[in-house]
Homo-oligomer: A and B are copies of this chain.
């Protein structure tokens, strides 16, 4: 973020905030009781007075996002609109809320009655897999918000872009909502571009899904808030197990491939964590500054237990020299830091020959128990609202974009921008400083 901020101050033109459109909008919107939003309304990227003043002084443009919301004139004729929804990748709280939101807003606000759910991610757009779309209406989705998972099913991996566009054309779909993460959105981008090449009036709108909450130009992604809520009782269990044994260590692996937002937030929300390890902060395992020594230091001052929360992407430096593996989508697979810590900590303390050194490690890997719960409370609202803005954008004929959220406002941004760079925890900022304050972990690391 800081890096991006700096670039945007120095050279705002580097980033292209312009959203693609299928064409001019002539149809009056059927949406009632709403203040319509003009395309010219934009949300400032910067929120700092001095940064704005600097740009103004230097005569530079002020970087900004297109503002989301209903347009007075729309592109797609509701009567002829056939919308499709696809959910891809791993589960995330709120998928069903997004589906429900899309269906209700399409149906009630715009009067769209042809809405289809694509089964099992992009595979559902490939005829060979043999999945038929399912018809969606407000009755079908009425209570799905109370269930975790996705009623459409999901899958991982890429599919042939051309084949998928063929399917959309064959089904007369003119509006595709893609709910998914990086890989999914890259796919959506290529679908949108292929459609533009074919000069088809098909809108492609992404709803970004990352439980890690790590998108650079989006303040918040759906499911993250629920993930933090759901992590808390598991940390309490780890604490109870740790307290229940001599030199007990409760070790919890949480989501976070490249960014530690879930691990840091969970550690702060249930502040009985003693060590929080995230990808943004490299740590040693052995040696005078290592984690083992930090654990020894804690035991040495008479503390009888320890709770460690580790993000799945943390400590990858410890695997240097090991072979790199990739998943179906070509992503580098992270080495399993949870299992590594569990085994190596046991090995270190329990093989000294001195029973006094022995520790008991209880390992928790709750990922699926967090991803599969329903979104609740304000997170559920966020899902519904994201879906609403996705529909407004789609009906207006926007394409190749995702719905974002910036400074409490819903925005449109090109897919390319959304997937450009991952957001990281600012290790000199509030969140991480609060985590350090709550855990006091640096008291145990020698070099701090």
Which A residues lie at the B interface, using CB under 8 A? 33-35, 40-44, 46-50, 52-53, 56, 62, 64, 67, 69, 91, 100, 104-105, 108-109, 120, 123, 143, 145-151, 153-155, 219, 225-226, 228-229, 232, 234, 236-241, 243-246, 248, 265, 268-272, 304, 362, 364-366, 368-369, 371-373, 376-378, 380-381, 384-385, 388-389, 407-410, 428-431, 433-434, 436-438, 440, 442
Name the contact of A145 in the complex, choosing from B49, B109, B239, B271 (C-beta under 8 A). B271
Contact A434 B381 (CB under 8 A): yes
Of B48, B104, B145, B437, the contact of A108 (CB 8 Å cutoff): B437
Q: A41 and B50 in contact (CB under 8 A), knowing A246-B120, A268-B381?
A: yes
Contact of A33 among B69, B149, B237, B433 (CB under 8 A): B433
Contact B407 A47, beta carbon cutoff 8 Å: yes
Cβ-defined contact, B104 with A438, below 8 A: yes
A245 to B410, CA, bound (A): 31
Alpha-carbon separation in the docked complex, A108 to B248 (Å): 26
Q: Which residue of B33, B153, B240, B384 is within 8 Å of A436 (Cβ)? A: B33
Q: Which residues of B contact A378 (CB under 8 A)?
A: 225, 228-229, 265, 269
Q: Of residues A35, A151, A238, which shows the largest number of chain B Cβ atoms within 10 Å of its Cβ?
A: A35
Chain B min CB distance to A410 (Å): 7
Instruction: Note all chain B residues with C-beta closer than 8 A to A35.
Output: 428-429
Query: Sorted from nearest, which 9 A-B pairs have the closest CB atoms?
Result: A149-B240, A229-B377, A42-B49, A240-B372, A148-B240, A237-B372, A407-B407, A49-B64, A47-B407
How far, in Å, is A41 (CB) from chain B's closest CB?
Answer: 6
B41 & A48 in contact (Cβ 8 Å cutoff): yes
Residues of B within 8 A of A272 (CB): 143
- A108 to B440, Cβ gap below 8 A? yes
Contact of A229 with B376 in the complex, beta carbons under 8 Å: yes
Q: Given A232-B376, A436-B33 in contact, is the A240-B147 Cβ separation under 8 Å? A: yes
What are 29 A-B contacts defined by CB distance under 8 Å?
A40-B50, A42-B49, A43-B47, A44-B44, A44-B46, A49-B64, A56-B56, A91-B240, A91-B244, A104-B437, A105-B437, A147-B240, A151-B243, A153-B245, A155-B245, A225-B377, A226-B377, A228-B377, A240-B373, A241-B368, A265-B377, A268-B384, A270-B380, A364-B369, A381-B434, A385-B431, A388-B437, A408-B408, A410-B430
Instruction: Report how far A217 CA is from B300 CA in the complex, Å.
Output: 46
Chain B proximity of A136: nearest CB distance (Å): 16
State which of B50, B53, B364, B368 has its C-beta within 8 Å of the C-beta of A368.
B364
A421 CB to nearest B CB, Å:
18
Q: Which residues of B contact A364 (CB under 8 A)?
A: 368-369
CA distance A53 to B364 in the complex (A): 52
- Report how far A433 CA is from B35 CA in the complex, Å: 10
Could you tell me if B430 and A388 are in contact, using CB atoms closer than 8 angstroms? yes
User: Which residue on B lies nearest to A124, using beta carbons?
Assistant: B246
When distances are taken between beta carbons in the complex, the residues of chain B under 8 Å from A384 are 268, 271, 434, 438
Q: A153-B244, A388-B430, A434-B381 are in contact. Are A237 and B373 (CB under 8 A)?
A: yes
Q: For residue A249, give the distance in angstroms from its CB to the closest CB of chain B.
A: 12
**A219-B438 in contact (CB<8A):** no
Whether B42 pairs with A244 at a CB distance below 8 angstroms is no
Residues of B within 8 A of A368 (CB): 237-238, 241, 362, 364
Extra contacts, 12 of them, besides A47-B47, A56-B56, A149-B240 (Cβ < 8 A), are: A44-B44, A47-B408, A104-B438, A105-B437, A149-B243, A237-B372, A240-B373, A244-B372, A269-B377, A269-B380, A271-B380, A388-B437
